[in-house]
Amino acid sequence: MNRLFLTVLLALCFFPSWSSAVDIKNIRKCYGPLGAKREDNKCLPGEIFFMSYDIDNLSLDKTGKASLTTTFEFIDPQQKVIFTKDTPKDVVPQLGGARIPGDVHVILSTKQAPGTYKIRVTITDKVSKQAKAFEQPIEVMAPTFGFVAAMSRAVGVAGDPAGHVTSFGLVNLTLDAKKQPNATVTIRILDEAGKDVTPATELVMPRDMPEDTDLEKANFVPTTFPIFLNRPGRFTVDVLANDKNGKKTAKLSFPLTVLDVGSFTGK
């Protein structure tokens, strides 16, 4: 027998975990839990930055349970770990397989200094004693007019009475001599061809701000936009904010897929 082949065969016999090491797949930036895909990693101070991923090839104990620890680290531009947290978890993958979903988020301070930060996530499989990690850079920008804390789910179901809600915060609006903003937010829903499916919705600040908003105390305007999911399809939610006092604009865009539950449950 070929000596090299024999060596490899023996290695596989004594170390079977080599062929099924814990892995992290489908790493994606997103707008909140189960959120729509996020294209960039640029953030304003005060942002909430979400990521989702899948943990695959987990080892199970004799009871069919996976046991793991997720270690989250936040690293500053000088490569110093400024925050760390371990989260242990035991789970039974009741649909079979050896994969479970995972997510992580970081809440940036409203005083976060500009620069390139990093998220580091390490998954330790306590059954196999193996670990896997990934890193994601985050570019924190200087404070300016824009969006933070945007959340929008990637998928909805047509006819869901709960509907679909997109939410975000508008920050750093320029105030006039009366300490008031002059801004608009235009929300459009587009089909796959990029055409409007309904008339655009326009919000006007200060008219449409919550009554208790004090922009001198905290220059932040929370906004929610509910969508009635009346039919299946693939859509895009486009949001354009215009700070007329400061002559600045900001944009957001979310893909939204609406499923027809009948296509999965019908004959």
Per-domain boundaries in the chain: 20-140, 146-265
Per the rule left: phi > 0, alpha: psi between -120 and 50, beta: everything else, 154 is alpha
Q: Please state the CATH superfamily assignment of the domain spanning residues 146-265 in this structure.
A: Immunoglobulins (2.60.40.10)
Residue recorded with tokens 């531009």: 77
Residue whose pair of structure tokens reads 């047509």 in the numeric block: 158
Flag whether pLDDT at 207 surpasses 70: yes
Domain spanning 20-140, CATH class:
mainly beta
The per-residue pLDDT for range 48-72, each reduced to its tens digit, is 999 999 999 999 999 999 999 999 9
Identity of the residue numbered 188: R
Count how many Cα atoms sit within 13 Å of the Cα of residue 144 in the half-sphere of its side chain. 13
Query: Model confidence over 135-187: pLDDT tens digits?
Result: 999 999 999 999 999 999 999 999 999 889 999 999 999 999 999 999 999 99
pLDDT value for 263: 83
Order the strands of the 183-190 sheet from edge to edge: 155-157, 248-259, 233-243, 183-190, 201-205
Once rounded to an integer, what is the mean pLDDT over residues 177-203? 97
Q: How confident is residue 262, by pLDDT bands cut at 50, 70 and 90?
A: confident
